[in-house]
Amino acid sequence: MTTSSKETLLNAAVLHWMHDLAAQGIITTDNELNVVEWNHWMEEHTGKGACDVIGTNLLDLFPELSARRLNRNYKWALEGQVRVLSQALHGYLIAMPVVSAEHGYAQMQQAVRISPLSHGGEIIGTLTIIEDVTERVAREAELQAQVEARSQLLSSEKLARNEAERANRLKDEFLATISHELRNPLNAILGWAHMLRLGKLTPSNVERAVETIYRNAKSQAQLVSDLLDVSRIISGKLRLDVRQVDLISIVNAAIDSIRPAAEAKSIRLQMMLDPSAGPISGDADRLQQIVWNLLTNAVKFTPKGGKIQVKVQRVDSHAEIVVSDSGVGISKEFLPYVFDRFRQADASTTRTQGGLGLGLSIVHQLVDLHGGSVSVHSEGEGKGATFTISLPFVGVVSSQKDTEVASEVRNDEIASLAGLPSLKGLKVLAVDDEADTRELIREVLRECGAEVILSRSAAEALEALEQHKPDILISDLGMPDEDGYSLITKIRALPSDRGGHIPAAALTAYARTEDRLRVLRSGFQFHLPKPVDSAELVTVVASLAGRAYKS
Amino acid sequence: MKLTERQSDALSELINIAFARTGAALSELTGHRVVLNPPEVAVYRTEELRPALAKFVPGDVASIHQVFAGPVAGDALLLLNYDGAVQLTDLLTDGHNPSAFLDESAREVLTEVGNILLNASLGMFGNLLNVHVTFSVPRLHLETLDELLASITTGKTDMHYALVIYTAFQIRDSSVKGFLVIVLSVDSLDRLIHEVDAWEAQQSK
């Protein structure tokens, strides 16, 4: 044997071993695509033995190659081109089962090279090398998913940060709004008060000054009470005084209170109140606040000559209050945020409309506390808005008397001293260290016919008690030297002929439940919150008259 | 050596045929319409390649490299900048999660795309010259432009010229710039230009 033929034989043997040991599929064909070689890997993965395929045309063996137009690659290879078939664009060349099914691929994923085989410048066949890349592709997908998850985490963190910044900005805007809103009425109050002090106003202007001061102070008090409500709601301290109430009279009272504002803008109020909708269980004051807030809003955002419709109806097991207006409407973008705290549609509206953007948030929270729901609908800007409140009929026991009692809804706005009980012949002792409050109490009670004695301190009050023998005591709690608690304790220690059983009401800015309890335990019969509401003061004094203290 | 305007136009036209084929092949493969912008052709001496290419491909370069041999021999490369390579694979494979790096699968796709383009272009030259060229297996490299240029010019004293063909892949409203660079010996380039002139003369008859 010559050296060269020995070498050729050796090469052939080595090649044979390499092909059989290869971790890839190797197919060799002649220039007519008849299979010449089919390695062990191919046998193992296709289940076709070399002896069964050698001599057969590759395209006959796998008709799928032509169906998937992959046969072209062999045509090009026979023209001398090397072809690369990537897994991402082709998946696989020859269908083979996956070694492990855990990656979710039905077929083995393959990377393929098809090359021409040439000899002496002539192409004599093709070589196909198939690599199983299933494992690798699955790993890459996993890695890609991890990268994706990480970038998603990053973007969600960014989102949270943006949200926090937004909340902070809203708070800043809110503080700016609140300062503005509180200062506005204050300017009017200060301005007119200053002119009153100068004493140069004509009687009609004096009246106007007082009216303006009253109106602005009232609106400021409303702002403060809104703020307090929100803070109570946030801290979960708002408690409902739930009783059986008549929804219709509550809605009527709220309508009455906004009627002047609506009339001033020539807004038509249309009411459709179905009497079968009441009574329900709820807190009369809060329910009225809900309706009042919605109506105030409707009036605020409805242009002159517009229309507001209020509907109360029974829908299954719910009572529905629907307030619709023909006002400026709400844009689609803002609609989801209508009930958010401190949110207003935009700064310019804030400026033209004023307000803190708390009203609807309070409505939402109060309705929630009642176990109901509130929704809003608007066709868009300029197309009006409709608010629907749904309140459940729960635990309603029909008792005509209860309903009547609870439906005596307090209505500060429309209360006028003229409609209040007469206090004629009553002698009231008022104790407060603040001159303004003393004066106010005197004016209000005098107006209703009472005689009023004023004291600046507990000591003065004790003297006045002996001297004037008043019928009723109204005392502030927080006073220097000696407070209201001490005063009442001393009075209650006196015999009845020296005023020991005098009916008494406490006046305080501390409105917490525990304060109220302490007030009642110490010997007062009533608790009046500050700032003093004229109507409430008169009503309390009237009801105290003749109700001697019983320990 | 400078191409005359006519030569340059004729070469562009010829390459455009190859590019149209490549676009059609890629469209069929991916299911998206892929178009390669009409090529712009220029000839540079190999030492001028660096400044000419550095302008367009700063930073790392992805190249698909095939050596061809026969009566006309040389190096053929598809050059993309790294970000362009990532973008191109994402566009071609419907990358649901646009990636920031080239994994093995992405490199394989690039290799296949480069292979299709190089085969079409060189095949077209082979037909024109009526010569049979053989190709090496395509390889993908990620390296700096300097490393790339060093690898294709060192030790090849007769490689003096490079045909630089500028184009852009248009896929799904996106565009990815790329260069086809064919480095040739003086002889091979002379022969090519001679055939281009002949083809052009025949076309204008």
Using DSSP, state whether A10 is helix, strand or coil.
helix
A118 and B CB contact within 8 Å = yes
Cross-chain Cβ contact A145/B93 below 8 Å: no
- Interface check for B38 against chain A (CB to CB < 8 A): the answer is no
Distance CA B179, CA A551 (A): 103
Exposed e or buried b per residue across A272-298, where buried means at least 16 C-beta atoms within 10 angstroms of its C-beta: ebeeebbbbbbbbebbbbbbbbbbbbb
B-chain CB neighbours of A111 within 8 Å are 108
Nearest one of A354, A346, A296, A362 to A170, comparing CA atoms: A346
Neighbours of B195 (CB within 10 A): 18
Q: Along the 551 residues of chain A, how does pLDDT read in single tens digits?
A: 677 788 888 888 888 888 888 899 999 999 999 999 999 999 999 999 999 999 999 999 999 999 999 999 999 999 888 999 999 999 999 999 988 777 778 889 999 999 999 888 789 999 999 999 998 988 888 888 888 888 888 888 888 888 888 888 777 777 777 776 777 678 778 888 888 888 888 888 888 888 888 888 887 887 787 777 777 776 667 777 788 888 888 888 888 878 878 888 888 888 888 877 767 888 888 888 889 889 988 888 888 888 999 999 888 788 899 999 988 888 887 877 788 766 665 544 444 455 566 778 888 888 888 888 999 888 888 888 899 999 887 644 433 333 333 333 333 333 445 567 788 889 999 998 877 778 888 888 888 889 999 999 999 999 999 999 999 999 988 887 888 889 999 999 999 888 899 999 998 766 566 677 788 888 998 888 776 777 788 888 888 886 667 65
> Is B30 in Cβ contact with A84 (below 8 Å)?
no
CB-closest option in A76, A80, A136 to B132: A80
pLDDT score recorded for residue A460 = 93
R_g (Cα) of chain B, nearest Å: 16
Largest Cα–Cα distance of chain B, in whole Å? Answer: 53
CA–CA separation, B129 vs B73, rounded Å? 12
B56 interface with A at CB cutoff 8 Å: no
DSSP symbols for A167-218: HHHHHHHHHHHHHHHHHHHHHHHHHHHHHHHHT---HHHHHHHHHHHHHHHH
**Tokens 């063909």 belong to residue:** B165
Which of B11, B38, B1 is closest to B198 using CA atoms?
B11
For residue B139, the SS3 value is strand
CB contact under 8 A, A147 and B30: no
Give the pLDDT score at A487: 93
| Pairwise CB contact (< 8 Å): B135 & A144 | no
Distance between CA atoms of residues A286 and A445, nearest Å: 28
Per DSSP, helices labelled H in A235-302 are 247-264, 284-301
Task: Tell me how many degrees the CA angle A206-A211-A213 measures, rounded to the nearest 5.
Answer: 95
Chain B residue whose CA is closest to A143: B103
- Binning pLDDT at 50, 70 and 90, where does residue B3 land? confident
- Long-range CB contacts for residues A54-58, cutoff 8 Å, separation at least 24: A57/A32, A57/A33, A58/A27, A58/A29, A58/A33, A58/A34
Asked if the C-beta of A89 comes within 8 angstroms of chain B's C-beta atoms, the answer is: yes
Check CB contact under 8 Å for B108 and A111.
yes
pLDDT confidence of residue A183: 75
Which residue matches tokens 């299979």?
Answer: A35
pLDDT at A41: 94
**pLDDT-wise least confident of A486-490, A514-518, B31-35, B142-146:** A514-518
B183 burial via Cβ count (<10 Å: 0-12, 13-18, 19+): buried
Tell whether A120 is within 8 A of chain B (Cβ). no
N- to C-terminal Cα separation, chain B: 27
> Which residues 166-205 of chain B have a CB within 8 Å of chain A?
none
Residues of A whose CB is below 8 A from B137: 82, 84, 113, 115
Nearest CA of chain A to the CA of B204: how many Å? 30
Helix ranges (H only) for A354-434 are: 359-369, 400-406
B138: contact with A, CB 8 A cutoff: yes
Chain B residues touching residue A81 (CB < 8 angstroms): 119, 123, 135
Query: Chain A neighbours among B 90-109 (CB < 8 Å)?
Result: 92-93, 97, 99-100, 103-106, 108-109
User: Looking at the complex, does the CB of residue A103 fall below 8 Å from at least one CB of chain B?
Assistant: no
Chain B: give the shortest CA distance to residue A85, in Å. Answer: 6
pLDDT at A134: 92
Contact (CB, 8 A) for A507 and A528 = yes
Residues of B in contact with A83 (CB under 8 A): 115, 119
Establish if B111 touches chain A: CB-CB under 8 angstroms.
Answer: yes
Cβ-contact A96, A134 below 8 angstroms: no
Q: Do B103 and A148 touch (CB under 8 A)?
A: no
Q: How far is the alpha carbon of B148 from chain A, nearest alpha carbon, in Å?
A: 22
Q: Which of residues 147-176 of A touch B (CB under 8 A)?
A: 147-148
Report CB contact under 8 Å: A85, B112: yes
- Look at B135 and A80 and tell me if their CB atoms are within 8 Å: yes
Cα–Cα distances in Å, from A297 out to A303, A412, B151? 12, 18, 77
How many helices and strands in chain B, by DSSP H and E?
Answer: 6, 8
CA–CA distance, A80 with B132 (Å, rounded to integer)? 8
**What is the C-alpha separation between A264 and A296, in angstroms, rounded?**
13
Does any CB of chain B come closer than 8 Å to the CB of residue A133? Answer: yes
Indicate the residue of B28, B105, B134 with minimum beta-carbon distance to A140: B105
Chain A residue numbers touching B92 (CB-CB < 8 A)? 88-89
CB B40 within 8 A of CB B181: no
Cβ neighbours of B99 in A, within 8 Å = 144, 147
B132 interaction partners in chain A (CB closer than 8 Å):
80, 121
- DSSP of B143-182, one letter per residue? EEHHHHHHHHHTT-TTEEEEEEEEEEEEETTEEEEEEEEE
State how beta strands A307-315 and A268-273 pair: parallel
pLDDT tens, B176-197? 888 899 988 888 888 888 888 8
Quick one: pLDDT band at residue B154, thresholds 50, 70, 90?
low
Residue of A nearest to B120 (CA): A81
pLDDT of residue B98: 59
Chain A nearest-CA distance from B124, in A, is 12
Sheet order of strands, A451-455 included: A451-455, A427-431, A472-476, A504-508, A526-529
| Closest Cα in chain B, distance from residue A81 (Å) | 6
Interface A–B counts its CB contacts (< 8 A) at 70
A518 touches chain B (CB under 8 A): no
| Residue partners of B24: CB distance under 8 A and separation at least 6 | none
Closest CA to B122 of B71, B81, B46, B80: B71
As given in the structure block, the two tokens for residue B95 are 């990358």
Question: Which letter does DSSP use for residue A338 in this model?
Answer: T
DSSP lists the bridge partners of residue A431 as A455, A475
Cβ distance of A82 and B138 shorter than 8 Å: yes
Q: Do A88 and B93 touch (CB under 8 A)?
A: yes
